[in-house]
Amino acid sequence: METYQYTIHELQKKLAGQEISARELTETVFARISAVDDKVNAYLILDKNKAMDQAAAADKLLADKKGGPLCGIPLSIKDVLCTKGLRTTAGSKILENFIPPYDAAVIEKLRAAGAVIIGKVSMDEFAMGSSNENCAYGAPHNPWNLDYICGGSSGGSAASVAADECIASLGSDTGGSIRQPGSHCSVVGLKPTYGRVSRFGLLAYASSLDQIGPLTRDVTDCAIMLNVISGYDRRDSTSVDRPVPDYPAALKPGLNGMTVGIPTEYFAEGLNPEVNEAVLNGIDKLREAGAEIVEVSLPHTEYGVAAYYIIAPAEASSNLSRYDGVRFGYRSPEADSLLDMYNKTRSQGFGEEVKRRIIIGTYALSSGYYDAYYKKASQVRTLIIEDYKKVFSQCDVLVSPVSPVPAWQLGEMVDDPLSMYLSDALTIPANLAGIPAISVPCGFSSAGLPIGLQIQAGHFEEEKLLKAAFNLESALDIKGRKPDIA
């Protein structure tokens, strides 16, 4: 087994015992990137000089027994998080030369924990997409089959972990953007409760939905990462001031006393048979671990996609109005007047999907249509939240597929945005409700493409989520299986 293939918790021991240095580990990761990223195309920006400096600093801390939980661990970062002095594009031409003057809150936490930040990875432009094909700098490829999408919008994060081009990654999830690529790339992806992790320094898409979370090789690493990035931040008005549990301590064998709900609406017509079979097998494993399995209903699930594609574009319309060519980012050199500069800058700087969602959102918020669209969507959102509250009075967690289908071929749905939107039908409700949800690898299709199982829990009940995920992972013979990129 190569050094770059170990998990965080395995490397913690090796680094602490000085079996390997942080500099050696970081060098092996960069060598791996050099060997495979021309095929995977996960990275937008690499910063080897600074990464090696961080690794050297980590080695000093490790020698003095002062290293944090991520000391010396090389991580990739979704290019939607501000990194001081390191270009941050959000996958968009409009920010192709933007260098933030500050770190996002989660980046500050990673640095304080001793992590080595090796670069920024690809994403759908401003996190708008389900395949990562909306990136202005080219789509990453699924390490399990390079002709297939790796999911979106955190596709570069999932691909970099699956391809062993980092030890773990940070992504963001607005409608499934951590969990869906996690499922398609056979890595663990967690969307925390809204307010659990600070959004300060996250380039906003839809502020009431966005949440930052980890993508990792296993559930233990996911718990370690979540511990590091969680916590109250006064700079984020939506951050919740409550203690951060010891998430790794929740990873105990056995699910006796836990009730697992199976929402019937998530197993409806259109679910791929191989996805259905893999998820049902995962449910059997949870039962064998001691969980009680009950059937439940979330009756307003079918309206989730429609509500989301009013609320998210409406918030995007507002958030993306700041990209006007005046203060920062791209400015069209061809303008004849201020209004012409606005029009040309935004037309040339934004991609087609971003422009589509801005137009939808602006229309939904416009005079005469607000009540018919945005207000109605917000009311539907409340009904979805009430569904979850009722269900979580009956069970501890919910289990379902992550995506109705395995990954599809690059280019297959790029001209069919409606089908692309519907691929998020099973992940969107958790964002609308603000609850935590995780994707855990649970199998492969007959074509060798990964399949993930989704577990959802009530607000701030990540410990239940992680315990169920840990037991599922322990029962399945999937962890450690690697794609053959060559």
Q: Locate all alpha helices (DSSP H) within 168-218, ordered by sequence.
A: 179-185
- Kindly write down the DSSP assignment for every residue of 220-234, as one continuous string: HHHHHHHHHHBS--T
Q: Are the CB atoms for 230 and 196 separated by under 8 Å?
A: yes
Nearest Cα neighbor of 426 from 260, 216, 270 is 270
The tokens for 241 are: 């001031």
Using the 8-state DSSP alphabet, how is residue 352 labeled?
H
Cα–Cα nearest to 126, from 303, 308, 322, 307: 322
Helix or strand or coil: residue 239? coil
Per DSSP bridges, beta strands 292-296 and 259-263 are parallel
List the catalytic residue out of 21, 78, 230, 239: 78
Whose CA is closest to 276, among 439, 178, 403?
403
**Cα torsion for 210, 213, 219, 220, to the nearest 10°?**
-150
Would you say the C-alpha torsion 110, 111, 117, 122 has a positive or negative sign? Answer: positive
177 among known catalytic residues:
yes
Q: Which of 454, 458, 453 is nearest to 391 (CA)?
A: 458
Q: Determine the length of the chain.
A: 486
Measure Cα distances from 65 to 58, 71, 166 in Å: 10, 10, 24
Token representation of residue 248 = 């790794």
Give the C-alpha distances (Å, rounded to integers) separating 25 from 21, 109, 278, 485.
Answer: 6, 21, 35, 21
* C-alpha distances out from residue 87 to 81, 215, 326, 409, 434, Å: 10, 21, 19, 30, 30
d(CA 361, CA 380): 17
Of the residues 76, 131, 169, 177, only one is catalytic, namely 177
What is the C-alpha to C-alpha distance for residues 219 and 469, in angstroms, rounded to an integer? 7
Active site residue 131: no
Asked if 81 contacts 116 with a C-beta cutoff of 8 angstroms, the reply is no
Alpha carbons 253 and 271: distance in angstroms, whole number? 31
Place of tokens 């009730």: 259
* Per annotation, catalytic residue among 122, 130, 153, 186: 153
The letter for the amino acid at 250 is: A
Residue 451 has φ and ψ, to the nearest 5°, of -130, 135
* CA gap 16, 63 in Å, rounded: 8
Which are the catalytic amino acids? Answer: 78, 153, 177
